[in-house]
Amino acid sequence: MKRKINKRDAAKRAMIEIADYLANDSILLAANFIDAVERTLDFLATMPEIGAHWESDHPHLKDIRVWSVDGFPDHLIFYRPTNEYIDLVFVCHSHRDLNELLANLNK
């Protein structure tokens, strides 16, 4: 059963920021990135448990999973599967300080 996708505001902003950055090199690349994120989310909506558990000491990051964006392996999707939907928490490049970035999302 395919679950719905809930995109948090921080995740939407992050997708746009990444696309804006990629657009400096190519508008097509930026559009392809957004399409790839959407494709990946559609895939995760059908197989939500496939992502690896994100290990963190922060309680608000409990049950977070991570999966790379299709065709953009250095870009990661952080999400929380629920019974009804996929909660898209954040999208970012893997070279960022991920623990710090994710820990500060709810502050």
Model confidence pLDDT, tens digit, residues 51-86: 998 777 776 677 889 999 999 999 999 999 998 999
Q: Do residues 86 and 6 touch, judged by C-beta distance below 8 A?
A: yes
- For residue 17 the two structure tokens come to 């920021």
Q: Which tens digits make up the pLDDT trace of 90-102? A: 898 876 655 666 6
- The count of domains in the chain is 1
The enclosing domain of 93 has a CATH number of 3.30.2310.20
- Domain hosting 56: range is 4-103
DSSP string covering 1-43: -PPEEEE-HHHHHHHHHHHHHHHTT-HHHHHHHHHHHHHHHHH
| pTM summary value | 0.87
